[in-house]
Every structure is written in C-alpha cells, then in structure tokens.
Amino acid sequence: MTRRVAVVGAGMTRFVRRALETGKELAWEASREALASCELPLDRIDAVCLTSAPDAFDGVHMKGEYLSDGAGAFGRPFIRTYVGGGSGVFTAIQAYYTVASGMADVVLAVAEEKMSSTQPHPQGAFLTIFDNILERPLGPNLLWIFALEMNRYMTVHGIDKRDIAAVAVKNKRNAADHPAALLGQADITIEDVLASETLAWPVQRLDVSPISDGAVAIVVASEEAAKQITSDPVWIQGVGWNLDTAYWTNRDLVFPDYVANAARMAYGMAGVTEPRKQIHVAEPYDPFDYKELHHLEGLLLFDKGMAPEAARDGVLDRKGDLPSCPSGGLLGVGNPIAAAGLMKIAELFWQLRGEAGARQVPGTPERGVAQAWGDLMQVGTVVVMGREGPPTTATQLETPPAATPATSLSDAEFRSATGAVEDEIGARYAWDAGVAIGRFLDGLRDGKIMGRECRNCERVLVPPRMFCERCFRGTHAWKQVEHTGEVQTFSICNVRWDMQPLDEPELPAVIAIDGSDGGFLHTLGEVDPDEIRIGMKVEAVWKPVSERTGSILDIAYFRPRQGDPRGSRSERERASASPPGEDAS
Amino acid sequence: MLEKIARPEEIRRWEGDLPVRHRYTPGVAGDAFFTALKERGVLLGSRCESCAYTYVPARLFCERCFSELSADTEVGPAGELVSFTIVFQGIEGEPLERPQTLGAVRLDGADAVLIHRVQPGEEPLEIGERVEVVIEPEPRRTGSILDIAGFRVVET
C-alpha cells in the first residue's frame, strides 16, 4: 500500500538568459526558497532528487553529483535523473515514489539548468538527438523536428496559424505577472508573433521559448509529515509517464500518444474519470506554442484538433473555462530545460493553494495537471495534483515566488568575467552502423532502399532493424521497398543549428516510403518551396554510382514524382537503381 | 541474429563530434575569490560559524546547513601538507620529462583542502610538513587558479 504524498513548499530563481550564479549556486538559491516557503531546515530533508541536462550538454562530468551540494544532498540519499524535456515533471514523480514507497518522509526535488555555458549555441549539444548515421549527415537542426510536427498537425486538422500564435500571446501575457519571468510581455499581439522571423517554416521566432538559466525546487512530504509542516498541503493524486518509439519519424506526428498514455496512467491513479470536468487548471508543456495545444489534446482535455479553437476563443486564458499555463509557461517564463518542467509543478502548488496572487485563476481550482515532454521527443510525464476542501492560507499574498534570486549577466560581463575559463570536451566518436543499418547502407550504395519485415505485426520497417520493438522478436526478412514515397510533412528551414542564417533554405521532410510502414527523414530538391504539399508524391534522386559511398547521402534528395515513376527516371538512374522485390537473405 | 564480420575493414563507421565548447563564469563566490586573488594576491575562504567549518575557495552557501556564506575569511598563506603524489606519466601515458608533484594542503584558517602543484625542494616531501602558497607577481595574474604558482616547503 503506497502512502499519500503532498507538495508542501516551492521556490525558484528568476529565469535569465545568462546567470551570474554557477549551477550549484542557482540550485541552492531555489532549494533555499523552497525550504523557506514551508519553514523547514535542511536537516528535515531525508533524501534529494535532482534533475539536469546530460553531462555533455554543459561539459560537466557527473553533473548531478557536481550540483548535489547546491541541492542539499550532502550526507543524504541522492539520485539524479534525466528524461530530456520531461525531466522537471519527472523529478516530481521520482520524489513522489520515493515518499510513497516509505523510503523517505520528506524529499527535496530540485531541477537546475545552466544553458548559457554552452557555446556557440546549446543546439550543438542536441545534435546527437538525431541518428548519427541516418540523420546527422543531412545536417539537421533541432527546429526541424518541431517544424515538421507542427506542419503536419496544422495541415491534418486545417489549423490557422493565428490560433497557434494565440498561445504564444497568452503565455507571454500571463508571464507579465510572474516575478521570475524572462519574457513576460503584457501588450504582445498575434500580429507580433506572425510578423516575427521565420526560422523553419511554420516555426517563427516568437513561437519558440527562449534558452535560459534557472532552477526550481519543491518539498514533497508524506501525509503525516505534510500535516505537521503545513495546514494546506497539495496532494500528488496521480503520476504517469510513457515512452513512444525511439524512431521519431515512425511516430504519429499529429497526436502525442505518449502523453495520452501517461495521462491515462495518472488519471487512473487519481480517480479522474472525466478529465474535462475534473481538471480545473493545466500546465501543459509549451516549448513551442503549437506544443501546448498538441499536449492539451494528449492530456484528453480536448478532442483531436480542437485545442487551437479553444486558444482562439479564450478558453485557455487565465479567466477562461480551462486556464492553461497561467504561469506564462516556457514561452513566457523561460525554458531552462529541466527547471522549466518543475516550474509547472510549482505553479500548480501555488494555484491550488489560492496563493498565486496576480496569476491566480478564479474559482478556487481543486485539481490541476502538469505535463512535460522529452527524451528523444518521445516521453510524456504527467502529474495530477489536488487539494481537499478550500485553501486555508491567506489569499492576499504577494504574487509568488516570494523571492527571485539569480542575477543576469550582460554579454560584456559574460565575456570579461574574472576567473572565467573556456574549454571543450574535445572528444570525437566513431559510431558503428551495426547489423541492420550496415546492410541498409550497402543497399543504398547499390541503389536499393531495404527494409526489414516483421511478419508478426505485418510491418516493413524503414529504417530497418533486426528486431521489432513492438513484438520484441527478431524481424523475419529483408525486403526491398520502392524508391518512391509520400511527403508526410516538411519544413522550409532558414537557419543552421547555431541559428546563423542559411543562404538557401533547407527543405527537410519526413517521407513515407512506398511499401514500408512509417517515415524517414530526408530533404527535398528540384522543387519550388511554395509548391511543396503534405501528401505530395516524391521519388529518390540517386547520386551517380561512382559517387556513392554507402551513406544516407547516396540519395541526393527526393523530388516530386514525375509522371510514371519508373519512366521518368533518367537513363543513369535506371541503370544504377535496382527494382524492388523480396530479397533472398 | 549475430552476423560474423568477415571483413572488418568494411565495418561502417561514422565519425563525428559534439560541436560545442563551453565558457564557465565563476559565479558569485568564485568572482570574489578570483578578484581577490588577482588584485590582492590573497586566498579567500568562507566561514560557516554554525558548522564551524571554513571552505576554500570561497562559497556562496554551506553545503552542510544551507546557510548563506560570503568570502569573509582570508586563509593561508601557509598550511599543512595533508597528502601528495608524484606524477611520472602524462595524460596519454607518456613519460614526463620532469615528474610533477601535486599536493593537498589545508591552509591555515581553513578546514577544506586545496589541491595544487608543489614546487620541487631539496628534501623529499613529508606528509604533515609545513608548506606555503606561492602567488605569481601581480603583473602576471589574470584571475585564474594558475595565479597560484604552487606550494613550496616552508624553510625552517
């Protein structure tokens, strides 16, 4: 039998572009505020859960342990986890089960991120999110994933970009009431968002949350301890997390199943049977504006494709029927990755206690849901929180957080800081293709696209793998698939990964290869960007045989299919590409 | 499932890296420590009265009790050699032309120890003996841990 668990305190630093404080110092400032908020000394903490981005991100080996003193972990059981963008919400889940299991009575959960150390742009550390062999040679940019998902979501549901921009406007306006916010802006309009620079169509600059430094901490306690600490605990009623496939191009880009699965788990635990009636305030993950809508649908709070209308009609406003991101979210408060997720838990804590001041949603909400998303764009992490009876604390409090430590450094101060050092890990890697991809690359050299057939679930997997992750058994046979396919989604990308402008836009696309299941990432060519459509039939354009090396780049790009797919190929291509069919091996 | 590799030279490998470098600024306590080192040639620590413990370099907070600290305590310049090692190989395993000695020193007034190079002396080092910090002359100091040239044995 698990024990009931409550959040009893929360604190955070300001989210700033570049903090004077070290990561340890940020973690300590947030932790101290969380403890102060419930008047607990450090010695009441039994265990510490911490989250922060992977070590390679800011080049600090064993970063969790490096940060541990700032999280109060000296002499205590300590664990650090990281599940990408889902981390901040996950560390609350981890604190929950550490207490629910009886292993600790009071846990400090801390999320810290210092993105400003990473030069020239934090995206450099994210490039290995892409498959090193099949995707990185294409020169991808993290924006591609978001732009490709957003385009398909918009196109399939016929969504107006204005309704998506309404989310960025709402959140940046909400953040104007958040003392710790980086990008609060009370007077921003939809026109401002639509007029901002197009980074990777349809993603514009103001659709995106800013990189930031910051830390957040909460105190989580067992029922017995919580009732000693506060008269107004906020209960963690349900938690859920769930992973989708590791092949992002094989996922449903229109609906986040991983969020829906995590939400069902959390709602089940919380006894929530009708989320649209029983959830009164939501903090869905909003690194991009469309993502908040995507996630609200994943949280089963709106029908598929219906959240944008709610944004347009004000349903998601602080005073709307379902306030969403009343904090200001990542788009307004900032996005220090791991910390941003835990900020959402802190916001629910304040909202459900009726302490949110200028940000308070009306109608004394009893139950809320916080959610984040991450890993290889495939994890959903969900926490349902609620209170019993009306809040007992005074409602006329200052707008939280009460204190907002963290000091922002200017560019000049960052460049000239006494004692600063520059370094790089300097590690180089050589990644083996392995069995399935090695054979796939051999096929490309020979002008064939090879898949692996799983006869159990009747799928042909491209890229191929030697085992089926659904059936968890070996795949059965190699199968050559077509050179043709259909554009599932695309983007027109104007910037490199370091956000420098490109001379010519890149045209990434997810292409469903005919005769296979799921899509695969490549680029489009021989096409006017304005002519590209989702659903467009395309065909591979192969490099000349002499230039092929057994690489994803042996396909130069995909172009619109020209009449009869076979007949339209040049002699050279016909001579160098083999027709599809069953492969004996 | 497992396929034997008959021609290892044909194993497909992709080389790559993480195209990032990092710039670390020293933070609140680090700023005080390095500014004092550069400008005054002194080492600042932080005293936590409730834990009766002095950290060096200076820190913003006590990791034991979470109290806020400041760079309020000048430590050294002399101290006790707590331990030392003599390094004969470089990072790639290559023999060093001149062995390098590293020492852990508890500077007078500090509880934490500081690691730095120990300058060679006439006599073999002994744990427990008195050493002192050697600070680079002012024009050569840049606000770096290398503004400390190292430790040397105190002549008696």
- What is the SS3 assignment for A282-327? EECCCCEHHHHHHHHHHCCCCCCCCHHHHHHCCCCCCCCCCCECCC
Q: What percent of chain A has pLDDT over 70?
A: 95
pLDDT at position A573 is 46
pLDDT at position A579 is 53
Average pLDDT for A452-462:
95
| B68-91 pLDDT, tens digit each | 999 999 999 999 999 999 999 998
Of A28, A128, A417, the CB nearest to B18: A128
| A279-295 pLDDT, tens digit each | 999 999 999 999 999 99
Q: Residue A143 carries which DSSP code?
A: H
Average pLDDT for A344-364:
95
Nearest-CA distance A20 → chain B (Å): 5
Q: Which chain A residue's Cα is nearest to B37?
A: A419
Interface of A with B in 370-399 (CB under 8 A): none
pLDDT at position B15 is 85
Entry pTM: 0.92
Q: Which chain A residue's Cα is nearest to B3?
A: A435
In which band, very low, low, confident or very high, does the pLDDT at B155 lie, cut at 50, 70 and 90? confident
Higher per-residue pLDDT: A48 or A251 = A48
Residue A513: name the closest of A562, A467, A573, A452 by CA: A452
Tokens coding B52: 């009766």
Of A127, A419, A425, the CB nearest to B30: A419
> Is A411 touching B (CB cutoff 8 A)?
no
> Is A557 touching B (CB cutoff 8 A)?
no
Higher per-residue pLDDT: A333 or A579 = A333
Chain A contact set for B22 (CB, 8 A): 58-59, 117-119, 422-424
Average pLDDT for A514-531:
94
pLDDT at position A299 is 98
Does the ipTM surpass 0.85? yes
- Asked if pLDDT for residue A267 goes beyond 90, the answer is yes
| B22-43 pLDDT, tens digit each | 999 999 999 999 999 999 999 9
Cβ contact, residue pair B21, A119, below 8 Å: yes
- Asked if pLDDT for residue B1 goes beyond 60, the answer is no
Average pLDDT for A345-353:
97
Interface of A with B in 466-485 (CB under 8 A): 466-467, 474
Cβ contact, residue pair B20, A438, below 8 Å: no
Q: How far apart are CA B121 and CA B152, in angstroms?
A: 7
Q: What percent of chain A has pLDDT over 90?
A: 83
- Asked if pLDDT for residue A331 goes beyond 50, the answer is yes
Q: Residue A408 carries which DSSP code?
A: B
Higher per-residue pLDDT: B26 or A428 = B26
Q: Which residues of B119-132 are buried (b: 16+ CB within 10 A; e: fewer)?
A: eeeeeebeeeeebb
A538 and A484 Cβ atoms separated by less than 8 Å: yes
3-state DSSP assignment of residue A545: helix
Q: DSSP for A44-109?
A: G--EEEEE---HHHHT-TTHHHHHGGGGT-TTS-EEEE-BTBTHHHHHHHHHHHHHHTTS-SEEEE
Which of A126-130, A433-437, A482-486 is least confident?
A: A126-130
Q: Residue B156, Cα to own-chain centre: how many angstroms? A: 26
Of A35, A74, A118, the CB nearest to B22: A118
Interface of B with A in 58-77 (CB under 8 A): 60-61, 63-66, 68
Average pLDDT for A162-180:
98
Cβ contact, residue pair A133, B65, below 8 Å: no
> Is B91 touching A (CB cutoff 8 A)?
no
Nearest-CA distance B141 → chain A (Å): 11
Nearest-CA distance B93 → chain A (Å): 17
Of A22, A136, A437, the CB nearest to B27: A22
Q: How far apart are CA A219 and CA A11, in angstroms?
A: 9
pLDDT at position A389 is 76
CATH architecture of A5-122+160-387: 3-Layer(aba) Sandwich (3.40)
Average pLDDT, chain A: 93
pLDDT at position B70 is 97
Chain A contact set for B33 (CB, 8 A): 419
Q: How far apart are CA B28 and CA A135, in angstroms?
A: 41
- Asked if pLDDT for residue A557 goes beyond 70, the answer is yes
Q: DSSP for chain B?
A: -----S-GGG--EEEEE---EEEE--HHHHHHHHHHHHHH--EEEEEETTTTEEESS--SB-TTT--B--S-EEE-SEEEEEEEEEEEE-TTSPEEEEEEEEEEEEETT-SS-EEEEB---SSPP-TT-EEEEEEPPGGG--SSGGGEEEEEEPP-
- Comma-separated ranges of CATH 3.40.47.10 domains in chain A: 5-122+160-387
pLDDT at position A572 is 42
- Asked if pLDDT for residue A416 goes beyond 80, the answer is yes
For an interface test with A, the pick among B5, B22, B50 (most A C-beta atoms closer than 10 Å) comes out as: B22
- Asked if pLDDT for residue A125 goes beyond 60, the answer is yes
A1 and A95 Cβ atoms separated by less than 8 Å: no
List the strands of the sheet with A198-201, edge to edge. A203-204, A198-201, A492-495, A501-506
> Is B41 touching A (CB cutoff 8 A)?
no
Interface of A with B in 245-264 (CB under 8 A): none
pLDDT at position B11 is 67
In which band, very low, low, confident or very high, does the pLDDT at A127 lie, cut at 50, 70 and 90? confident
Cβ contact, residue pair A419, B20, below 8 Å: no
B152 and B120 Cβ atoms separated by less than 8 Å: no
Chain A contact set for B18 (CB, 8 A): 56, 124-125, 127-128, 425, 427
Average pLDDT for A321-338:
97
- Asked if pLDDT for residue A166 goes beyond 70, the answer is yes
Q: Residue A25, Cα to own-chain centre: how many angstroms? A: 26
